[in-house]
A = this chain, B = another copy of it.
Amino acid sequence: MNKSYPERAGRVVALCGGVGGAKLAFGLAHILGNDLTLLVNTGDDFEHLGLTVSPDIDTVLYTLSGLANRELGWGRQGESWNFMEALSTLGGETWFRLGDRDLAIHVERTRRLRAGETLSTITSSMVDHFGIEARVFPMSDQKVSTVVATPEGPLPFQRYFVERRCAPRVAGITFQGAVEADAPPQVISALNDPALRTIIICPSNPYLSIDPILAVPGIRSGIERADVPVIAVSPIIGGKAVKGPTAKIMAELAVPATSKAIAEHYGGVIDGLVIDHADADDRETVNCPVHVTTSLMTSDEDRIRLAGEVLDFAYRLAPNAEAITLRRGQ
């Protein structure tokens, strides 16, 4: 290895939803700095109180900048709720809780979108203001809306996820606008970059967080075209999701909550799957190379260790990416 060319460690693209995915993104960003490009789900974005809310982008920004609320699992640490309380007095909608500090990102994003800036540009500017090294992009600057089909009829994502707390049975999931949506040019460039060494699918909900990203045609084709290993980290540990409705949705869709099912879900896209020791018995049933490790991320150290292992695994699968982990030791 030629240590004088650390840039030969190569660039990495990672697909990411909210909380679980953002934890691995934190680890990847720690190792890769601005060699990491994150493509973030915007299927959950919605208008609330006249503000454009991008929950997964915000979770990623807060997580990477160390501002995330770890106890709550969403929003910002040290948050206050005086806006919400005052809004309630005015008869405003309070089912979706916006903290006082968190509100700044929604107000500023909405103002800039109305002034004609793209979500990509605004997100990049926020990345700079938060002092984040990694590059973060929405999967599209156009509107894509995740809609959950339920026995009660179709529910917009946040109504399903927050207001109904994932209670309705999921009969299907659609991504309105995805087929017509373009990926931002910076995302296409990142996928076409000759320095790209691997693509990581973070342990986000495959159905609600990763599928909408893959539903954007330019991203799907960019991933298929890229001659680098694509590695998914399974969000399932011991037949359960760490957080959120992944396992519940899999049951409702009559899919067993197993590593095998995750690999099959990503069939045709991934070249390797990272699973937890708790699911090591599934190893033989998975139809692609598997790396078994501890995939629960509790501390920053866990996040960085798992990210390193995922990159090492990708490196072993990639014939020409010998220097992928070079920067990690620095």
Structural contact, A89 and B50, CB atoms closer than 8 A: no
Among A76, A90, A99, max chain B CB count under 10 A is at A90
Bits for A109-129, please: 1 = Cβ < 8 Å to B, else 0. 011001000000000011001
Task: Indicate if A82 sits at the interface (CB-CB under 8 A).
Answer: yes
Listed by A's residue number, 6 A-B pairs whose Cβ atoms lie within 8 Å are A76-B86, A89-B129, A90-B126, A90-B129, A100-B103, A103-B103
> Does A72 interact with chain B (Cβ within 8 Å)?
no
Q: Would A111 and B80 be within 8 Å (CB), given that A86-B104, A90-B104 are in contact?
A: no
Number of interface residues of A (CB under 8 A): 32
Secondary structure at the A interface, as helix, strand, loop or mixed, is helix
> A103 to chain B: which residues have CB within 8 Å?
83, 86, 100, 103
Pair A50/B104 contact, Cβ less than 8 Å: no
Which chain B residues lie closer than 8 Å to A90 at the CB level? 104-105, 108, 126, 129
**CB of A212 to closest CB in B, whole Å:** 26
A83 touches B100 (CB 8 A): yes
Asked whether any CB of chain B lies closer than 8 Å to the CB of A7, the reply is no
| Residue pair A82, B100 in contact (C-beta under 8 Å) | yes
> Complex: how many Å from CA A50 to CA B109?
10
The reply to whether B86 and A83 contact each other, CB–CB distance below 8 Å, is no
A101 located at the interface, meaning its Cβ lies under 8 Å from any Cβ of chain B in the complex = yes
Let me know if A171 is at the binding interface, CB within 8 A: no
The 8 A CB mask of A60-94 against B (1 = contact, 0 = none) is 00000000000000001001101111110111100
Verify B129–A101 contact, CB threshold 8 A. Answer: no
Return chain B residues, CB-CB under 8 Å to A83. 83, 100-101, 103-104, 107
A107 and B92 contact, CB distance less than 8 A: yes
Q: Which residues of B contact A84 (CB under 8 A)?
A: 104
Q: Check A129 against B91 for contact (C-beta < 8 Å).
A: yes
Tell whether A250 is near chain B: CB-to-CB under 8 Å: no
